[in-house]
Amino acid sequence: MATLETFYEVMRRQGITRRSFLKYCSLTAAALGLGPELVPQIVHAMETKPRTPVLWLHGLECTCCSESFIRSAHPLVKDVVLSMISLDYDDTLMASAGHHAEAILDEVMEKYKGNYILAVEGNPPLNQDGMSCIIGGKPFTDQLRKVAKDAKAIISWGSCASFGCVQAARPNPTRATPVHEVITDKPIIKVPGCPPIAEVMTGVITYMLTFDRIPELDRQGRPKMFYSQRIHDKCYRRPHFDAGQFVESFDDEGARKGYCLYKVGCKGPTTYNACSTVRWNEGTSFPIQSGHGCIGCSEDGFWDKGSWYARQSDILQFGIEANADQIGTTAAIGVGSIIAAHAAVSALKRAQHKGDV
Amino acid sequence: MAPLDNAKPAATPEEDGTAAPAAGRFLKAIYVYEVPVRVWHWVNALAITVLSVTGYLIANPLPAMPGEASANFLMGYIRFVHFTAAYIFAIGFIGRLYWAFAGNHHARQLFRFPFWDRHWWGELFLEARWYLFLERKPKLYVGHNPLAQFAMFWAIAVGSVFMIVTGFALYSEGTGQGSWQDKLFGWVIPLFGQSMDVHTWHHLGMWAILLFVIVHVYAAVREDIMSRQSIISTMISGVRTFKDAEAPADEEHERPVKKAARAG
């Protein structure tokens, strides 16, 4: 188990000069959207605070959150894992396995009771007594409840932990349930996305360790610094939206000109995430930049808000796929026909009883 | 507007409802809809039309505009018109709500749903039977008949609140967190699930109101022709005229002035 040196000590031990350390603090402040006056605060925190133990659990998930996390460039995930946090348990990244690995959980929980951060990737299935996800011979639900009990705060990594994601999509046979519906007595930071952006993940961790508090959250429990605006609000194709220039179908003239993907189902106007600002893979690109609409992967229940290739959501209650306009048009035609028939009967009746009234 | 000329002399607001001399076709005229109600009705009708057309175009945009993005702002204009009409719709609704308290008792009818009034339900079914051609004669009403009141309460009173609340919640996504729209209406989005759900419901709300409008216009035209009181002209002049001498079903709600006048 890692000894709890301060961040600064660890970095110096790794041969990082003080100059590089200060640069790193400035870059971190910039990445978090903080002003330069807060850099000394970050420096001070890193020089004095011991590394916080983080236990990273995996429930029903696909590991895409971990895959994203290890690609973080600013800060490098190496710095996060080796210098900033003390990642004591993460069954996909840790070297140890089996009983040895599971023993670490108990050790950290006991030694740092109430002072460790629980990061959850994936979610627990509640049906069939939780048998759809077994960790170390026991249902993941049990492990989650046990580790959450003494945690300082919980980070829900990705759309699985935050909202349920694909395993909770209709009809959700295993009753996969987001973490906040199972653990209700701890502060929970939701970092949705399928997966979340790497820099958003490391940014959230950096913020929590630096300031020793959870970031400011919005109504749905997401950090405001990364989830307060829609993809649409900062999309570089937004001028084409306002101009009324849309891709009508993939590979058409508009698609080649880089027009707005709204009509081919882009969910950017309803999706809160930082893709259009932070982008992916060291700021290389993001879905819209590659010519495909946003699928809204960081939104609640996005698998059931399809189609991903039409502007309006399908409404499935009618047994067939139809959107609001199709239902409305059908109803209007129905009512119109009834009215026409009614008017005809009214006219007949009136002709029959002319002069009666 | 020939009927109005007939009705006018007998229907000044002061004399409200006194029996008119049976000079023309109309035996009686009662001042029903005050000026703010009538102005609101037509402004609201226009706002609903504009909101529906622009709203439909926001969800189903027109074919792409040619030229540079900087030279076009079609979607921007359509959205601007939608938001402007929405403000007029919302402010008008608040004004109308105020008038329910400040105006006469007919102004309150839109916001009332007398669920516990068995008599009211009875007359509602009677009116429904008339529309199903099962009754020979409808009852006379000074205000709305119960069936109309039922439809208006749900489509316009409740429907407008629903559209204003969901509409401003969606609008708050553009004005951003911390804006007053977000503070007042932002909670609606997680309540529905996510933004996409609110869009879908806002859309269905439009269709519900449009269905009401279709039925409303048809019923108004038909009533004007077939029933025993004026309908369309009443929303212009404010005066309800009656085609026969029978007392309206809701006449007892009319000012005591009349009874006093009769007694006198």
Domain of B54: which CATH number? 1.20.950.20
Cβ-based burial of B14 (10 A; exposed 0-12, middle 13-18, buried ≥19): exposed
The reply to whether residue A357 touches residue B206, judged by beta carbons under 8 angstroms, is no
pLDDT digits (tens, 9 = 90+) for A70-124: 988 877 888 788 777 888 898 888 888 888 888 999 999 999 999 899 999 999 9
Q: Which fold has domain A7-226?
A: Rossmann fold (3.40.50)
pLDDT on residue B119: 92
Regarding whether B68 and B180 lie in a shared domain, the answer is yes
pLDDT at B44: 97
Would you call B59 and A311 a contact, using CB atoms and an 8 Å cutoff?
A: yes
Mutation for B interface: A270, A317, A318, A348, most B CBs within 10 A: A270
Whether residue A325 and residue B56 make contact (CB cut-off 8 A), yes or no, is yes
Nearest-by-Cβ selection for B200 from A244, A299, A312 = A312
Q: Given phi > 0 = left and psi -120 to 50 = alpha, else beta, which region is A26?
A: alpha
Position A319 confidence tier, pLDDT thresholds 50, 70, 90: low
Same domain, B220 and B234: no
Pair B255, B167 in one domain = no
At B251 the pLDDT is: 67
Same domain, B61 and B152: yes
- A135-150 pLDDT, tens digit each: 988 999 999 999 999 9
With contacts defined as CB-CB under 8 Å, which chain B residues touch A243?
A: 65, 68-76
* Partner residue facing A224 (CB), from B177, B189, B203: B177
Query: Is any Cβ of chain B less than 8 angstroms from the Cβ of A216?
Result: no
> Is residue B158, in this structure, part of any structural domain at all?
yes
Tell me, yes or no, whether B111 and B211 share the same domain: yes
* The predicted structure's pLDDT at residue B7: 39
| A147: its two tokens | 């580790």
- pLDDT mean over A288-311: 93
Residue of A nearest to B199 (CA): A312
Residue B125 falls inside a structural domain: yes
Q: Taking a contact as any Cβ pair under 8 Å apart, which residues of chain A between 314 and 343 contact chain B? A: 315, 323-325, 327-328, 331-332, 335-336, 339, 342-343
Three-state DSSP class for residue A135: strand
Which is nearest to A175 in space by CA: A191, A190, A164?
A164
Same domain, B132 and B187: yes
Q: HSE on the CB side for A246, CA within 13 Å?
A: 24
3-state percent helix, strand, coil for chain A, nearest multiple of 5: 45, 15, 40
- Do B194 and A305 lie within an 8 Å CB cutoff? yes
DSSP B62: P
| pLDDT for the residue A354 | 67
- Residue B59 is part of which domain span? 48-141+143-224
Contact between B244 and B228 under an 8 Å Cβ cutoff? The reply is yes
B35/chain A closest Cα distance in angstroms: 31
Residues of A in contact with B214 (CB under 8 A): 332, 335-336, 339
Residue B93: closest CA among B55, B144, B37, B145: B37
Domain co-membership, B160 together with B209: yes
**Beta-carbon separation of B174 and A259 below 8 A:** no
Burial of A245 (0-12, 13-18, 19+ CB in 10 A): buried
Answer yes or no: do B172 and B213 share one domain: yes
SS3 (DSSP) at B134 = coil
Instruction: Report pTM.
Output: 0.86
Quick check: A244 and B62 in contact, CB under 8 A? yes
Cα A287 versus chain centre, distance: 15
SS3 label, residue A38? helix
Tens-digit pLDDT string for chain B (264 aa): 334 444 344 444 444 444 444 444 456 788 999 999 999 999 999 999 999 999 999 999 999 888 999 999 999 999 999 999 999 999 999 999 999 999 999 999 999 999 999 999 999 999 999 889 888 888 888 888 999 999 999 999 999 999 999 999 999 999 998 999 999 999 999 999 999 999 999 999 999 999 999 999 999 999 888 877 888 989 999 998 887 767 777 766 565 434 434 433
Extents of the domains making up chain A: 7-226, 232-304, 325-357
**Are residues B18 and B72 located together in one domain of the fold?**
no
CA distances for A92 relative to A1, A69, A107, A180, angstroms? 17, 12, 19, 23
B187 within domain boundaries: yes
- Please give the tally of structural domains in chain B: 2
CA distance B238 to chain A (A): 24
Whether B37 is covered by a domain: the verdict is: no
Phi, psi for residue A354 in degrees, rounded to 5? -55, 130
Q: What is the 3-state secondary structure (H, E, C) of B165-194?
A: HHHHHHHHHHHCCCCHHHHHHCCHHHHHCC
Checking if the pLDDT of A324 tops 50, the result is: yes
Contact A311 B186 (CB under 8 A): no
B188 and B236 share one domain: no
Residues B187 and B58 in one domain: yes
Q: The CATH number of A232-304 is which of 4.10.480.10, 3.40.50.150, 1.50.10.20, 3.40.50.10860?
A: 4.10.480.10
Higher-confidence residue of B192 and A355: namely B192
Summarize pLDDT for A180-213 with one digit per residue, the tens: 999 999 999 999 999 999 999 988 988 887 788 8
Can you give the pLDDT at residue B121?
A: 94
